[in-house]
Amino acid sequence: MRVDIQPVETWASRVADLWTSRLLDQPTLRMCLATGATPVPVYAEMGRRVAAGAVSFARATVFVLDEWLGLPPGHEVRCDSMLQRDLLAHVDLDPGRVHTFDVDDGDPAAECRTYDAAIRDGGLDLAILGLGRNGHLGMNEPGTVFDAPTRIVELAEETRLGAARYGELATSPTHGVTVGLGPIGDAAEVWLLVRGAEKAGILSRVLEGPVGPDIPATRLRLHPRGLVLADADAVSS
């Protein structure tokens, strides 16, 4: 695993530069993408680059990383809604190659198996992830084994309460579905995006603490092409 630290002002363009170069090298890139606050400036920058004709997602494939259970379709906190708002509305991805969890038809466990198989059928070239305040990746909460498949999960309290950061919620979801640490770890390349001083404590544990399920993001330390892309605020102590 490598660690790349950038000034706050240039962090998003640095990530976008790397991403642009991957897409130019391999236009059919198969990616797993996080939602949440962290990647928003990167997604905005990629939208500007697509508009300027500097890069295209037209032949790429995307799998959204996770989804809450119990929120109705179109809810602003849903991960598929956030991906639409923050990225898909601004880039030229073919909607037929965007995978989101279909959790509205009653059998999320079956949907997870289908989703896992679709990821493994072709694999992932790149996973772009955020870092949870408790060290989770996607909704792989502390205690998750490193080979966990895509599945239904019970959310940690911190994650449940944190959902309200993304919009209005009558009640916080208690469960979600997530791409597992297994398929994430099998991606050819995994990037962990981390920005802001509020992540400094957990990032230092990811980088220097013991590797293991207590901090799922430490899985990246074992990945030959794991890359932490942090801004300077996230590494200040």
| Interaction mask 110-139, ligand PGA, x per CB under 6 A | --------------------xxx---x---
| Interaction mask 75-114, ligand PGA, x per CB under 6 A | ----------------------------------------
Q: 86, 141, 189, 231: which is the annotated catalytic residue?
A: 141
Of the pair 41, 132, the CB lying nearest ligand PGA is at 132
Residues in binding contact with ligand PGA, number by CB under 6 A: 7
Q: What is the largest CA-CA distance in the chain?
A: 46
The per-residue DSSP string of 157-217 comes to HHHHHHGGGGS--SS--SEEEE--HHHHHHSSEEEEEE-SGGGHHHHHHHHHS--BTTBGG
Q: Report the run of H or E that residue 41 belongs to, with start and end.
A: helix 40-51
Q: Using CA atoms, how far apart are residues 42 and 153, in angstroms rounded to an integer?
A: 28
Phi and psi for 179 in degrees, rounded to 5?
-60, 135
Show the CA angle centred on residue 190, arms to residues 195 and 85, nearest 5°. Answer: 60
Residue 136 falls in the annotated catalytic set:
yes
Report 8-27 residues binding ligand PGA (CB under 6 A): none
Minimal distance, residue 136 CB to ligand PGA, in Å: 6
Of the pair 27, 167, the CB lying nearest ligand PGA is at 167
Residue 208 falls in the annotated catalytic set:
no
Residue 134 falls in the annotated catalytic set:
yes
Q: Report the run of H or E that residue 68 belongs to, with start and end.
A: strand 66-68
**Residue 54 lies near ligand PGA (rule: CB under 6 A):** no
| Interaction mask 185-204, ligand PGA, x per CB under 6 A | --------------------
Assign 230 to helix, strand or coil: strand
Q: 66, 125, 189, 231: which is the annotated catalytic residue?
A: 66
In the set 38, 61, 144, 218, which binds ligand PGA (CB under 6 A)?
A: 38
Q: Using CA atoms, how far apart are residues 66 and 178, in angstroms rounded to an integer?
A: 4
Q: Residue 224 contacts by C-beta under 8 Å, 6 or more apart in sequence?
A: none
Q: 75, 116, 134, 214: which is the annotated catalytic residue?
A: 134
Q: Which residues are catalytic?
A: 66, 134, 136, 141
Site residues (CB under 6 A) for ligand PGA?
A: 36-38, 130-132, 136
